[in-house]
Amino acid sequence: MIKFTEHELKIVKKLEVLKDEAGSHSPSIITFRQKMPEVAIKVDACFLSNPYATDLFLEYFEAEVLNGAKIRDLLESYPSQNAVIAEILADFLHIDASHIFIGNGAIEIIQAVVHNFTEKKIMINIPTFSSYYEYVKEGVEVVFNELLREEDYGLDVDRYISKVREQQPDTIVLINPNNPNGAYTRIKDVQRILEELHFVKNIIVDESFIHFAYETENYQLVSLSHLVDKYPNLIVIKSMSKDFGIAGVRAGYGIMNASYVQKLLNNGYLWNSNGFAEYFFRLYTREDFAVRYDKVRIKYILETLDFIQELKQLPGINVYPSMANFVLIELQEGIRSTDFVAKLLIGYGIYVRTCDDKIGLKGQYIRLASRSRMENDYIIQSIKACIEMNLVLEGVNETAG
């Protein structure tokens, strides 16, 4: 049991209300600061972004937009149309522009695809990113494929394929690496899924965390997006929010068969981007940026590996394997996740996510993002102190009782 003072308990109650109001996502830092001025957040380990990528973007943005006084253009003019931004990406991604759909964040693409192309039944691995089942139309059946704790919440490909054969959904969703646990399915296994499940109308592969994954010693980027030509049922969804650290810009893209892109564009989405997102997309495809981005990507991967290694040494918590920039942690010793999260926040100014609302997780879980090295060190020290305090209290209780 984690103990709170009267004053802390009041804050804990307010926190619970704030989380309830935010539904299945966490309240944004801006909302948080506004509603809870009494809590000073020092480290945001809830939002899953690469801070070095944000630094890099800012460096370009300041030099080319702010100091170059182009900010007025960005505000005053319309951004390019969806299909025009798609063309900017096409060369860089080596994919024909007709396959690319630009979204106001990946969330808009999830909504568009699931609304328009899922007819009857969708199969989703759990635990998962909630939008995939929350955005289905009325009347669409949702089937969950439960990832197992005994298997570290990883995907068993054989069982997955048989379950899809048996259930016959028209849409399946694979988030790779998965959110909230970071489990990774190797590209050759995903390709086997694509081969064997050619009869499924839509196979959504969400690669929002793919820039943190690797299969080679030099951390080379992996992705399936070039396979849309080969598999017409493949839909790759990519958020730029996490691995490029720009959630506020709202930029994402989907790669899918050209008729789907056409159908979506015929129904709207003409200017769903904005000037900042267009600036980002143009930057993303530039050689000078790409070279520098890859450096901060790898730097962050290496630091995250160290962070996870150190977390694994801590007593009282179980850290699940992850190929993303965050880890799912199961709390032991009877620690409640909401208490743990509140203590980290109130006592140490560290904002992390409880996973109480995640279906498919049984037990007390939190999800913790990797930040800069300095912040990660502080997170480790604070978690250690929290657990030790709990163990001391447990010890006292045991002797007393």
Binding site for ligand PLP (CB under 6 A): 105-107, 129, 175, 179, 206, 208, 239, 241-242, 247, 252
User: Residue 2 or 329: which CB sits closer to ligand PLP?
Assistant: 329
User: Residue 189 or 206: which CB sits closer to ligand PLP?
Assistant: 206
Helix or strand holding residue 193 (H, E): helix 187-196
User: Residue 321 or 347: which CB sits closer to ligand PLP?
Assistant: 321
CB-nearest residue to ligand PLP = 105
SS (H, E, C) 205-256: EECCCHHHCCCCCCCCCCCCHHHHCCCCCEEEEEECCCCCCCHHHCCEEEEC
**The tokens of 223 are what?**
């992705």
Of the candidates 398, 350, 385, the one whose C-alpha atom is nearest the C-alpha of residue 370 is 350
Of the candidates 51, 63, 82, the one whose C-alpha atom is nearest the C-alpha of residue 283 is 63
CB of 397 to ligand PLP, least distance (A): 39
Q: Residue 336 corresponds to which amino acid?
A: R
**Are 222 and 187 in contact, with CB atoms under 8 Å apart?**
yes
| DSSP β-ladder status, 252-255 and 234-239 | antiparallel
125 burial via Cβ count (<10 Å: 0-12, 13-18, 19+)? buried
- Do you find a cis peptide bond into 127, omega within 30 degrees of 0? yes
User: Residue 48 or 386: which CB sits closer to ligand PLP?
Assistant: 48
CB of 335 to ligand PLP, least distance (A): 26
User: Residue 250 or 343: which CB sits closer to ligand PLP?
Assistant: 250
Residue 270 neighbours by CB distance under 10 Å: 11
CB of 128 to ligand PLP, least distance (A): 8
CB of 385 to ligand PLP, least distance (A): 29
Strand partners, 326: 369
CB of 300 to ligand PLP, least distance (A): 17
CB of 96 to ligand PLP, least distance (A): 23
User: Residue 19 or 242: which CB sits closer to ligand PLP?
Assistant: 242
